[in-house]
Amino acid sequence: MSMSTTSGRGAECAGANRLRSLFLDPAEQALYPYWESAAGGMVAGFRESVGTDTDDPRFIELVGELSLASPLFSRLWARHDVQACEAAPKHIAHPQVGGLQLNRERLSIDGTQGQTLVIYHPDPDTDAAGKLALLASAILTPAPLPADRKGAENSGHRRHVLFKEAAG
């Protein structure tokens, strides 16, 4: 149920829940030109991934939180849509490079309790591939370390940010 995100607050918080970010973080919503449609697919995929494991306290807490905080989530959850999301294409409006059409792959991780790795990648030799290469080159410039990590500067540990939340 939990995965890192690559934009907004999620980028700064490893393990942030993607579903929570999609419904509660305007910066995450801005990445999807048709975010309400994307949200419908995410909810249906979430319902599919949970299956019959509805007694999980994390599941109960997340559904309760989102049902109270987001009228859209509440409406989508009430529809009871179920949909597998393997290899689904995604359209993302990146704040720095614009539109990206990416392929989405979801891989199970052996030895974990239902954790998955989600990979977004472009088709080779496409506009999206070029834009991602441009973004990847941006990580060569280190972002400032948080105050509690200043001592790590001399040890070679640096934090790189691929996506930055838009100011405003």
pLDDT at 67: 95
Q: Which residue has the higher pLDDT, 161 or 79?
A: 79
Q: Which two tokens stand for residue 40?
A: 């419908």
Hey, what amino acid is at 58?
A: R
pLDDT at 41: 85
Q: How far apart are CA 74 and CA 88, in angstroms?
A: 24
pLDDT at 6: 38
Backbone angles phi, psi at 91, to 5 degrees: -110, 120
Give pLDDT tens digits for 73-95: 999 999 988 877 666 678 888 88
pLDDT at 125: 92
pLDDT band at 158 (very low <50, low <70, confident <90, very high): very low
